[in-house]
Amino acid sequence: MTDSKTVISLKDVRVTYRSGIPFTRAISTHTPLNGISFDLKEGDSLGVIGRNGAGKSTLLRLLNGIIKPDGGEIINYGYHTTLLSLTVGYDQNLTGRQNAVISGMMMGLEKKHIVSKLDEIKEFSELGSFFDQPIKNYSSGMKQRLGFGVAIHLKSDVLLIDEILAVGDTKFKKKSEAVMIEKIQSGDTVVLVSHSPSTVKRLCNKAVWIENGKVAKYGESIEVVDAYEKLQS
Ligand SMILES: Nc1ncnc2c1ncn2[C@@H]1O[C@H](COP(=O)(O)OP(=O)(O)OP(=O)(O)O)[C@@H](O)[C@H]1O
């Protein structure tokens, strides 16, 4: 059997956040990731686990190229990544349809491709006539359904998902998980941040556990999740 191709390589990656301390000129720094190395392989579904604040979302932003490391190196071997995050903002005054088009364009996709997918996005997100209303009229669940619908229907080599499967009502959660499984089984590369060990075991073949800025364990998801859970109990 031949080895699968490497999609993105992380070599000794460090991220430092710098923020001003209010009412002073002082700057505080925080380094959530410090010496992260692993390879993301084509066709893998990689779960990212770790405690609150371990740096899981930061890792997704790195893989997406939104932020750059201040130490080490990230090599993307020419793959297009899409980040699906609940925190990515939409323009409140634009409709779901308009926001879907803008999100797609921000992902670097052609407008023609995005427009051809709008009906599927509308149907999947179950927004009905709300799809053509400003999203300031949406509930938070409706915004999340739109975000998931956009990310899942537009083409991308690597889908990066930040906790999205944990939201929405039971019916939508089941539907989202079914689409995810379909994507994974068709060989798409997926990186999934999750606080749910059972979700990672169910959906991911590999997992990486981040602890104290480093990779505590990387490998088969069942082994990594079991080791992580043992430490929590
Ligand atoms: N833009 C930022 N500026 C300053 N600090 C930040 C910024 N973003 C994240 N941090 C800090 O970096 C650390 C890692 O944050 P991150 O969101 O990556 O963790 P996480 O593992 O995804 O957490 P959670 O499980 O709680 O969602 C946290 O201590 C957080 O406070």
Domain map (residue ranges) of the chain:
89-156
What is the distance in A from the centroid of ligand 1 to the CA of 210? Answer: 13
95 lines ligand 1 (CB under 6 A): no
Q: How confident is the model at residue 97 (pLDDT cuts 50, 70, 90)?
A: very high
Q: Give residue 166's pLDDT.
A: 65
Whether 178 has a pLDDT exceeding 70, the answer reads yes
Q: Give residue 174's pLDDT.
A: 85
54 lines ligand 1 (CB under 6 A): yes
Residue nearest to atom 28 of ligand 1 (CA): 53
What is the distance in A from the centroid of ligand 1 to the CA of 192? Answer: 16
Residue 144, both tokens:
């999340």
Q: Give residue 85's pLDDT.
A: 65
What is the distance in A from the centroid of ligand 1 to the CA of 58? Answer: 6
Whether 17 has a pLDDT exceeding 60, the answer reads yes
pTM over cut 0.90: no
CA separation for the pair 10, 36 (Å, rounded) = 7
What is the distance in A from the centroid of ligand 1 to the CA of 176? Answer: 25
How many of the other CB atoms lie within 10 Å of CB of 183? 17
Q: Give residue 86's pLDDT.
A: 57
206 lines ligand 1 (CB under 6 A): no
What is the distance in A from the centroid of ligand 1 to the CA of 31? Answer: 10
Residue nearest to atom 25 of ligand 1 (CA): 52
C-alpha dihedral sign at 106, 110, 184, 75: negative
Residue 211, both tokens:
């602890």
Whether 188 has a pLDDT exceeding 80, the answer reads yes
168 lines ligand 1 (CB under 6 A): no
Q: How confident is the model at residue 211 (pLDDT cuts 50, 70, 90)?
A: very high
Kindly report the CA angle at 220 between 63 and 79, in degrees rounded to 5? 25
Q: Give residue 30's pLDDT.
A: 92
What is the distance in A from the centroid of ligand 1 to the CA of 205? Answer: 25
Choose the residue to mutate in 15, 17, 34 for probing ligand 1, maximizing ligand atoms within 8 Å of C-beta.
Answer: 17
Residue nearest to atom 17 of ligand 1 (CA): 57
Whether 58 has a pLDDT exceeding 90, the answer reads yes
Question: Residue 55 in contact with residue 211, Cβ under 8 Å?
Answer: no
